């Protein structure tokens, strides 16, 4: 199809050109975003565009048309009109502010406004007074949600850029702003739909993701603002939560300096994570162990993760410091410095009982009662220079980061055991991106160099024996690519070629394990050469968009002391996007990939991960996967109605099959060279409707998941099927100024089937928040969470976890008293069924706590 359409449009391939320029404020010289720019030939309009976040615009014009006039309109500014005098680029239009003389009674302004691809939400209409930080506010806005780490999602997709006053101060670590910027300083939240952050690639490489821009109130712009929190309580004494933040968000300079610490169960270190969706490079994000997955190795001690708010169970003392400065060095350039540090000590006491059912009907039970202490110290610094004009994009970023982590645990299973991990890591990275735009073409040049050093070790004492495990990693990873983006009629074509040259070094050694027949130590040195060619054709036919992509990588592994290995990776894909209307769209995606495990999986030695788990890498396991997705979405931000229905299918064939062998003292996990095929499919839907901005929000969700898996258990192939049905509903209402209520419930029914048994489990969760304002300055809040689980023969009902707060609003802040875990619940129990395992667990909770706090801002 792409070839036929290319042939049909070849005669029009270069039949258009672009008019480019910038819209500025005449007085300040700052860019004006959202201005309506029109191009005229004599008195006939021939094209239009809206200015972007940096004020730039680009209008496509037919080749046989001569533009002689550009007109610009923007609310709050006088209309402007200039002659092009034959120019097609670097056209500067200066707008002069103009007061709007409109009778107040004749105009009704709604809380949501759309201009082009920009949605504006005037936040005062969505607040009920309970919002403390930006994240609380964003969760009240239709179509936007946040996560605990500060990630912002628009229609369920992570945004690709975060701005404050149209400047990117934080880069990929904007969670600090989401979780700390005072909600009362925000005037408006803008959502830039289909945002391409690189101006030189606009209309050449369209984006399907959105960006968010925070517009501050007038008194919060350009001046230094201090925000501070202090909270203290008992038992035990002292409990504390403290924050001191200085911010300045100006048009040319921005600063954010934050010191924050607590021992109340707030996992504030996650605020420093690189947020998903903000990088062109695929990344993974760790849930346990650290902020950067590259600073992790197979020696990565795990901690519990419970499906309840962390303030009830996360026993920590944590602190973060972040210093961020941005300076505009030109109309399109900026220099940014970011320095981050974090430290945490986490304690946990838990117990579990795991029952494994084998294919012959026998069972094994593994009990574990443990207490652990995990300490992390993390630092990261980065300097970034960026130019972003319609003709050129240049980004140069250099960063240094490191992590010093140690973990100590003691417990009792079959034997009394102890574990000690020592996990220092260091990383240096340089990232260069350059895009040059010329007419309907753009050339892209990227270069990334990363050095990584992990020197990890662990000592295990169990059953009267001592085992020492070391894992040394030294990597130098480089990737250099060049590509071209061009537009020919209906086609936007990307051609990219890259060459990666890496040096990978691994050394693993396990001592004290005399009874195991597997290899205990190995050293691996690999030089890899990875040429990569990627082709993409983005075809636009009216409201229909078709994207065909074919990335291919050729891996050459030069292995010291072993035979060299050569193999390809292929990942062709096809996607179809149809905008049926401005509110209704459909998406269909399909892809097939042939990949292998990472080269370090060739390490020929077992690795002891904890006191009873030993694993062996899978030696370049080949994986062929087919994925398909189809979805339809209705989005009406003005009418505040959102509906989504989607389904997916995945089929995977692996050359090696996972195998778990349970021994009396250890569990051995490895891969057996026998092929296995697994598949899964799912369907999900949701409807969310706002009846009035705050009067009532109702959301209903439902989903179905089905998966078939196979693996070897005790050297016997075991197959099992898991099916789950999930339904949920959320109600949020603020019918009057003195009351607001949020209730959320979810029910999951999971069925696990195998040759030996069919087990059905039921999970019911509920959470809610009630706010009552009996007096205009006095607020009472009550929050609750409950969970009930049932499997055959066992019902686990955890009593509700409750938190109450009484707060008094002051002229410059808020004073409040709080009681957490009102019912003084001391443990949380769970029953979990996965394939052939049933796990009963119990984790110690923090107990009842009384707190007194003060939150100030000036």
371 to each of 309, 312, 344, 346, 368, how far by Cα in Å?
21, 17, 17, 11, 10
Backbone Cα Rg of the chain: 29
Cα(531)–Cα(482) distance, rounded to whole angstroms?
12
DSSP 753: E
Tallying the residues shown for the chain, one arrives at: 858
Cα(360)–Cα(444) distance, rounded to whole angstroms?
59
CA 102 to chain CA centroid, nearest Å = 44
The reported pLDDT for the residue numbered 606 is: 95
Asked if 34 and 50 touch (Cβ cutoff 8 Å), the reply is yes
Average pLDDT taken over every residue of the chain: 89
Spell out a b/e string for 524-549, using b for 16 or more CB atoms within 10 Å of the CB, else e.
bebbbebebebbbbbbbeeeebbbbb
Asked if 487 and 200 touch (Cβ cutoff 8 Å), the reply is no
- Give the H/E segment covering residue 176: helix 175-178
Structure tokens at 486: 């061009």
Q: Where are the alpha helices (DSSP H) in 591-693?
A: none
533 to each of 394, 495, 496, 553, 585, how far by Cα in Å?
23, 8, 6, 7, 31
Residue the block writes with tokens 């006939």:
44
Cα(150)–Cα(170) distance, rounded to whole angstroms?
12
What is the sign of the dihedral through the CA atoms of 538, 540, 541 and 547?
Answer: positive
CA 491 to chain CA centroid, nearest Å = 31
User: Partners of 564 in the beta sheet?
Assistant: none
Structure tokens at 692: 């009035």
CA proximity to 34, closest of 107, 95, 102, 124: 95
Cα(195)–Cα(652) distance, rounded to whole angstroms?
33
Residue 266, phi then psi, degrees to nearest 5: -85, 120
Residues contacting 3, CB < 8 A, separation 6+: none
Residue the block writes with tokens 């490191």:
402
3-state SS, one letter per residue, for 402-464 = EEEEEEEEEEECCCEEEEEEEEEEEEEEEEEEEEEEECCEEEEEEEEEEEEEEEEEEEEEECC
The reported pLDDT for the residue numbered 717 is: 86
Can you tell me whether residue 299 is helix, strand or coil?
A: coil
Residues contacting 44, CB < 8 A, separation 6+: none
The reported pLDDT for the residue numbered 16 is: 63
The secondary structure of the chain in percent helix, strand, coil, rounded to multiples of 5, reads 5, 65, 30
Structure tokens at 612: 């009873």
Residues contacting 12, CB < 8 A, separation 6+: 489
Question: Strand pairing of 521-541 and 544-559?
Answer: antiparallel
The reported pLDDT for the residue numbered 279 is: 54
DSSP 217: P
CA proximity to 494, closest of 716, 227, 272, 205: 205
DSSP 501: E
Q: What is the distance in angstroms between the CA of the first residue and the CA of the last residue of the chain? A: 61
pLDDT digits (tens, 9 = 90+) for 31-47: 787 778 888 888 777 77
Can you tell me whether residue 219 is helix, strand or coil?
A: helix
Spell out a b/e string for 152-166, using b for 16 or more CB atoms within 10 Å of the CB, else e.
bbbbeeebbbbbbbb
- Give the H/E segment covering residue 588: strand 584-596
User: Partners of 684 in the beta sheet?
Assistant: 646, 703
Which pTM was predicted? 0.85
Asked if 704 and 725 touch (Cβ cutoff 8 Å), the reply is yes
User: Partners of 367 in the beta sheet?
Assistant: 353
Residue 220, phi then psi, degrees to nearest 5: -105, 0
Spell out a b/e string for 654-692, using b for 16 or more CB atoms within 10 Å of the CB, else e.
bbbbbbbeeeeebbbbbbeeeebebebebebbbebbbee
Query: 10 Å Cβ neighbour count for 774?
Result: 9
E strands, 655-695, in order:
657-662, 667-672, 676-691
DSSP 274: P
Query: 10 Å Cβ neighbour count for 103?
Result: 6
The reported pLDDT for the residue numbered 199 is: 92
Asked if 216 and 164 touch (Cβ cutoff 8 Å), the reply is yes
Cα(295)–Cα(269) distance, rounded to whole angstroms?
15
User: Partners of 166 in the beta sheet?
Assistant: none
Structure tokens at 119: 């949605």
Structure tokens at 644: 């989504």
Cα(806)–Cα(828) distance, rounded to whole angstroms?
26
What is the sign of the dihedral through the CA atoms of 291, 295, 298 and 299?
Answer: negative
State the maximum Cα–Cα separation within the chain, in Å, rounded to a whole number: 92
User: Partners of 595 in the beta sheet?
Assistant: 623
Can you tell me whether residue 272 is helix, strand or coil?
A: helix
Low-confidence ranges of the chain (pLDDT < 70): 1-16, 53, 75-76, 98-110, 278-290
Residues contacting 155, CB < 8 A, separation 6+: 143, 210, 633, 635, 642, 644
Residues contacting 808, CB < 8 A, separation 6+: 777, 778, 779, 814, 815, 816
Asked if 480 and 498 touch (Cβ cutoff 8 Å), the reply is yes
Question: Strand pairing of 657-662 and 696-713?
Answer: parallel
Cα(372)–Cα(368) distance, rounded to whole angstroms?
12
Query: 10 Å Cβ neighbour count for 212?
Result: 25
Cα(100)–Cα(46) distance, rounded to whole angstroms?
29
E strands, 489-543, in order:
491-511, 521-541
Residue the block writes with tokens 């099916």:
723
């Amino acid at each position: 199809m792409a070839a036929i359409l290319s042939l049909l449009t070849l005669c029009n391939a270069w039949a258009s050109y672009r008019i480019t320029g910038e819209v500025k404020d005449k007085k300040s010289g700052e860019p004006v975003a959202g201005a309506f720019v029109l191009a005229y030939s004599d008195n006939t309009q021939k094209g239009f565009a809206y200015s972007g976040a940096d004020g730039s615009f680009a209008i496509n014009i037919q080749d046989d048309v001569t533009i002689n006039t550009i007109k610009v309109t923007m609310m709050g500014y006088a209309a402007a009109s200039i002659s092009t005098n034959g120019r097609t680029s670097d056209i500067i239009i200066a707008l002069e502010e103009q007061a709007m003389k409109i009778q107040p009674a004749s105009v009704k302004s709604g809380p949501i406004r759309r201009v082009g691809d920009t949605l504006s939400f005037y936040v005062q209409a969505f607040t009920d007074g309970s919002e403390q930080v930006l994240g609380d506010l964003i969760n009240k806005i239709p179509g936007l949600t946040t996560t605990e780490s500060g990630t912002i999602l628009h229609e369920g997709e992570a945004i690709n850029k975060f701005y404050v006053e149209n400047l990117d101060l934080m880069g990929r670590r904007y969670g600090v702003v989401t979780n700390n910027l005072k909600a009362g300083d925000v005037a408006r939240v803008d959502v830039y739909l289909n945002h391409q952050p690189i101006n030189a690639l606009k209309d050449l490489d369209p984006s399907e993701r959105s960006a968010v821009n925070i517009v501050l109130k007038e008194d919060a712009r350009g001046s230094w603002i201090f925000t501070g929190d202090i909270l203290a309580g008992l038992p035990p004494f002292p409990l504390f939560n403290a924050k001191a933040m200085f911010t300045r968000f100006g048009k040319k300079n921005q600063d954010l300096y934050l010191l924050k610490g607590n021992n109340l169960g707030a996992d504030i270190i996650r605020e420093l994570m690189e947020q998903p969706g903000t990088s062109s490079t695929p990344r993974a994000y760790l849930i346990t162990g650290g902020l950067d997955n590259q600073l992790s190795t197979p020696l990565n001690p795990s901690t519990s993760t419970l499906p309840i708010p962390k303030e009830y169970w996360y026993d920590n003392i944590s602190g973060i410091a972040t210093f961020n400065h941005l300076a505009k060095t030109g109309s399109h350039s900026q220099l940014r410095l970011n320095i981050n540090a974090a430290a945490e000590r986490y304690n946990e006491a838990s117990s579990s009982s795991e029952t494994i059912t084998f294919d012959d009907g026998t069972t094994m039970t593994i009990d574990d009662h443990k207490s652990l202490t995990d300490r992390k110290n993390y630092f990261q610094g980065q300097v970034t220079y960026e130019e972003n004009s319609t003709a050129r994009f240049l980004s140069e970023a250099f960063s240094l980061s490191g992590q010093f982590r140690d973990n100590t645990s003691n417990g009792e299973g079959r034997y009394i055991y102890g574990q000690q991990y020592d996990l220092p890591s260091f990383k240096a990275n340089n990232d260069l991106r350059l895009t040059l735009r010329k007419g309907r073409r753009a050339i892209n040049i990227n270069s990334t160099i990363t050095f990584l050093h992990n020197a990890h070790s662990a000592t295990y004492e169990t059953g009267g024996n001592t085992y020492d495990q070391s894992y040394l990693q030294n990597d130098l990873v480089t990737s250099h690519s060049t590509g071209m983006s061009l537009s020919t009629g209906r086609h936007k074509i990307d051609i990219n070629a890259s060459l990666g040259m890496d040096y990978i070094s691994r050394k693993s050694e396990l001592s004290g394990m005399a009874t195991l027949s597997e290899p205990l130590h190995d050293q691996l040195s690999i030089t890899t050469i990875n040429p990569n060619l990627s082709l993409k054709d983005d075809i636009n036919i009216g409201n229909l968009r078709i994207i065909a992509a074919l990335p291919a990588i050729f891996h050459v592994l030069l292995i010291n002391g072993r035979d060299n290995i050569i193999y390809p990776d292929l990942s062709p894909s096809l996607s179809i996007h149809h905008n049926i209307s401005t509110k209704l769209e459909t998406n269909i995606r399909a892809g097939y990939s042939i990949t292998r495990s990472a080269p370090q999986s060739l390490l020929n030695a077992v690795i002891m991960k904890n006191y009873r788990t030993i694993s062996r890498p899978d030696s370049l396991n080949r994986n062929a996967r087919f994925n398909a997705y189809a979805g339809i979405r209705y989005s009406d931000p003005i009418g505040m109605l959102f509906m989504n229905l989607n389904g997916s299918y995945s089929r995977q064939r692996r050359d090696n099959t996972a195998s778990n062998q349970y021994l009396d003292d250890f569990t051995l996990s490895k891969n057996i060279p026998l092929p296995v095929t697994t598949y899964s499919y799912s369907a999900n839907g949701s409807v969310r409707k706002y009846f009035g901005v705050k009067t009532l929000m109702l959301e209903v969700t439902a989903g179905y998941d089905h998966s078939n898996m196979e693996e070897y258990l005790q050297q016997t192939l075991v197959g099992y099927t898991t099916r789950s049905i999930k339904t949920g509903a959320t109600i949020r209402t603020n019918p009057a100024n003195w009351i607001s209520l949020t209730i959320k419930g979810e029910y999951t029914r999971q069925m696990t089937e195998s040759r030996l048994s069919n087990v059905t489990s039921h999970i019911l969760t509920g959470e809610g928040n009630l706010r009552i304002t009996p007096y205009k300055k006095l607020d009472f809040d009550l929050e609750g969470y409950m969970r009930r689980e049932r499997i055959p023969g066992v019902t686990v009902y955890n009593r509700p976890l409750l938190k109450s707060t009484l707060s008094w609003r002051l002229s410059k802040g808020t004073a409040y008293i709080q009681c957490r875990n009102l019912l003084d619940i001391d443990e949380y129990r769970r029953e979990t069924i996965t394939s052939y395992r049933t796990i009963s667990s119990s984790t110690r909770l923090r107990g009842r706590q009384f707190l007194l706090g003060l939150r100030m801002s000036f």
